[in-house]
Amino acid sequence: MKVTHVQQWCLRLRNRAKLFLITCIMLAVVVNFILVSAMYSEDWGHISFFKDAKRQGNKPSRLQLKPNSQENQIHAESPKCMFYASSSKKTLFEFHKSHYMTVSVNGRLGNQMFKYASLLGVAAQYGFSPFLRQKSLLFSAFQSQKYFYHVSMKNDVSFEEHHAGIYDCRIHNLTQSKNITLNGYFQSWKYFHHIRQEVRKLFQFTDDIIRRATKALNKFHPGNRTLIGVHVRRGDMNTPRELQRGYKVADLKYFRKVFEYFRYEIENALFIVVSDSVSWVKANLAADDVVISETGIAYLDMAILAQCKHSIITSGTFGWWGAYLAGGKTVYYKDYPKPKSWLSEQYNKMDYYPPNWIPM
Ligand SMILES: *[C@@H]1O[C@H](CO)[C@@H](O)[C@H](O)[C@H]1NC(C)=O
Ligand SMILES: *[C@@H]1O[C@H](CO)[C@@H](O)[C@H](O)[C@H]1NC(C)=O
Ligand SMILES: *[C@@H]1O[C@H](CO)[C@@H](O)[C@H](O)[C@H]1NC(C)=O
């Protein structure tokens, strides 16, 4: 049968239409993919159109938010070394009042708190009597005076840690025939995880500090808003020497992300910022829901952070402890210490940051 000219023409047209349709569908898929990935990429905060669209849709935030590890993470350096996770009252030995343990206390508030907490954790595990000298800064900040007394130890040895922020497994092998002085920073939650409730209790500030912190907070009329403590450490870590060693201050990108995260997660949030660089905060983080606390007194600032529900921290032990005492959700700056630096060799993030804290 012979095909007419008209039929041939129709056939050609149909093929072209099919091709056109397929091209359109493919184009639509590609464009859609690009738009969706732009919307959910980590930098979407800069694209205000999508920000608003997303907020109205009330979709959960898609920022990468995973706690940093499992609770019973075993340290890579010493695979046989577990820390004490349980809070059982049992100790390995009962050396109370025959064996003493203390720690050399220096540094500022955050550092001192790590030493104190780790001393208590290790002493509790081995049944030593822990004590701290009264001239420590902690003596005037906290209610409990239980462990502030003096013993002139005889027959004592020093235990020197290997790294400031890496759980030192040799702590499981302490001598049983001597008094012990811990020397180092002991910046790992693992040293005192088994007595965490007690640590929180011991770190209750004096009534006077709590009263002053509450007063400072009330000035912001928090009402029923959810308080989020933000510690912005910059000043002393932002010098060429410190930066070169691997100290690092959080950048604006971090704050954009983390603020956005909490604004999604928490309705009616109020951010309480504590910082050593107030002018930077004012210039960069100003917003309707951000207030700055300027007490200029370390233990007061920490009491303020501790009274907040959730925490945002940057670098250093001061913010770490504010977040630990607050006890809510904590987001930390994942690039501190700066990867591959001298300082980062002194820290294992699994040991330094509790596993339920969120790197960002
Ligand atoms: C620790 O020091 C105290 C006080 O000097 C002493 O009585 C005690 O025997 C010492 N303990 C050990 C295990 O040497
Ligand atoms: C524990 O201490 C003893 C005596 O000081 C030492 O010989 C042994 O190697 C140590 N074990 C570990 C695992 O450090
Ligand atoms: C918070 O307080 C305001 C008024 O003070 C009230 O309208 C609102 O319902 C309260 N929100 C919650 C969650 O209690």
Domain residue spans in the chain? 100-201, 206-359
Q: Mean pLDDT of all residues in the chain?
A: 83
102 lines ligand 1 (CB under 6 A): no
Calpha distance 6→120 (Å, rounded): 95
CB 126 within 8 Å of CB 307: no
**Strands 226-232 and 269-275: what pairing?**
parallel
**Within 10 Å of residue 158's Cβ, how many Cβ atoms?**
11
Residue nearest to atom 2 of ligand 2 (CA): 173
Which of 155, 157, 159, 176 for mutating ligand 1's site (highest number of atoms within 8 Å of CB)? Answer: 155
> Which atom in ligand 3 lies closest to the alpha carbon of residue 267?
13
Percent of the chain at pLDDT above 70? 83
Which of 172, 173, 178, 180 for mutating ligand 2's site (highest number of atoms within 8 Å of CB)? Answer: 173
H or E stretch at 182 = strand 179-183
Upper half-sphere CA count for residue 252 (Cβ side, 13 Å)? 9
224 lines ligand 3 (CB under 6 A): yes
Determine the topology of domain 206-359 in CATH.
Answer: Rossmann fold (3.40.50)
> Which atom in ligand 1 lies closest to the alpha carbon of residue 152?
5
Residue nearest to atom 9 of ligand 2 (CA): 173
User: Quick one: pLDDT band at residue 160, thresholds 50, 70, 90?
Assistant: very high
Per residue in 85-105, pLDDT tens? 665 556 666 767 789 999 998
Compute the distance from residue 80 Cα to the ligand 2 centre, in Å: 13
Give the residue ranges of DSSP H helices in 203-297. Answer: 207-218, 240-245, 252-265, 278-284
Cα 155 from chain centre: 39
Whether pLDDT at 61 is above 50: no
Compute the distance from residue 199 Cα to the ligand 2 centre, in Å: 29
Burial of 14 (0-12, 13-18, 19+ CB in 10 A): exposed
Per residue in 239-264, pLDDT tens? 887 888 888 888 899 999 999 999 99
Compute the distance from residue 268 Cα to the ligand 3 centre, in Å: 9
H or E stretch at 54 = helix 48-57
153 lines ligand 1 (CB under 6 A): yes
60: preceding bond cis by omega (within 30 degrees): no
> Which is nearest to 277 in space by CA: 325, 311, 237, 304?
237
Ligand in nearest proximity to the CA of 226: 3
Question: Measuring CA to CA, how many Å separate 314 from each of 49, 60, 245, 326, 345?
Answer: 29, 24, 17, 15, 19
223 lines ligand 3 (CB under 6 A): yes
Which of 224, 267, 270 for mutating ligand 3's site (highest number of atoms within 8 Å of CB)? Answer: 224
Place of tokens 């639509």: 28
> Which atom in ligand 3 lies closest to the alpha carbon of residue 224?
1
Question: What pLDDT is attached to residue 47?
Answer: 31
Whether pLDDT at 184 is above 50: yes
Residue nearest to atom 1 of ligand 3 (CA): 224
